[in-house]
Amino acid sequence: MKITILVDNTTLTDHYFYGEPGLSFHIEEGGRKILFDLGYSDVFLKNALKMNIDLLDLDNIVLSHGHIDHTGGLFTLMQAYLEARLEGIPHKNPVLVAHPFCFYPKPAGKVPDTGSFIRENTAGRYFPLKLSREPVWLTEKLVFLGEIERTQNFEPAEKNKNRRIIAPGGEQPDDLLDDSALVYRSDEGLVIITGCAHTGICNTIEYARKVCGDERILEIVGGLHLLLPEAEVIEKTCRYLMDVHPAAIHPCHCTDLHSKIALSRVAPIHEAGVGLTLEYH
CATH number, domain of 18, equals 3.60.15.10
Q: Which of 97-101, 163-167, 177-181, 246-250 has the lowest mean pLDDT?
A: 163-167
- E strands in 109-230: 129-131, 136-137, 142-144, 164-167, 170-173, 181-186, 189-194, 217-223
Q: Do β-strands 181-186 and 95-98 pair in parallel, antiparallel, or remain unpaired?
A: unpaired
- Domain housing 33: 2-279
pLDDT above 80 for 157: no
Determine the longest span between alpha carbons in the chain, in angstroms.
56
pLDDT above 80 for 165: yes
266 pairs with which residues across the strands? none
Query: d(Cα 134, Cα 149) in Å, to the nearest integer?
Result: 11
pLDDT, averaged across the chain: 96
pLDDT above 80 for 177: yes
Query: d(Cα 50, Cα 47) in Å, to the nearest integer?
Result: 5
pLDDT (mean) for 82-100: 97
How many domains would you assign to the chain? 1
Q: Do β-strands 32-36 and 60-62 pair in parallel, antiparallel, or remain unpaired?
A: parallel
pLDDT above 90 for 160: no
Output phi, psi for 279, to 5 deg.
-130, 140
Element (H, E) at 84: helix 74-87
pLDDT (mean) for 165-181: 94
